[in-house]
Amino acid sequence: MIIYSKVKNKLFILLTIILLAACQPVNQFQLLSGEGKSLDDYKGQWLLVNFYAEWCPPCIKEIPELNALNKSGVQVLAVSYDKLSNQQLAAQKAKYNMQYPMLASEPMPYLPMERPTGLPANYLFTPQGQMIGPLLGTQTKESLLEIIRKVENSVVNTQN
């Protein structure tokens, strides 16, 4: 009877852990700053998720454009293509003067898109949470704002 009770308690704990894990919000991630986030936190605003790598010259070239885009009101999030420690990511963020948040690698982020096959790769999210992308190749602040304008104009036109 004591053995059954111990097994029952362990089974209960295991099932509780499984249920709690299953109830975690989808698309959760942690920023390098330590702040926990989900994509839902960005609803109501434009969001650009940028996959980059230090060994990718076009990715590095894109950083000043993404800094400017972030300052213009479009939230930018950096995601390293490489599996680096949070300490290595922080060093890259400082080295390249990334003025926007970066996703931490630990714990591993959960995002709705697959790892891109080419870089740089950007995914744009509308204020309603609709994903546009991947946008492959180097982007500029203006090229991204043009995409935003086109999407906003198409929404306005469908409402008239």
C-alpha span between 144 and 26 (Å, rounded): 26
The average confidence (pLDDT) of the chain is 88
Mean pLDDT of 115-123: 95
pLDDT tens column, 28-62:
899 999 999 999 999 999 999 999 999 999 999 99
- Quick: pLDDT tens for 55-92: 999 999 999 999 999 999 999 999 999 999 999 999 99
Residue 104 has pLDDT above 90, yes or no: yes
Domain ranges of the chain: 26-151
Task: State whether CATH 3.40.30.10 applies to domain 26-151.
Answer: yes
Report d(CA 116, CA 157) in Å as an integer. 32
Note the pTM of the prediction, 2 decimals: 0.81
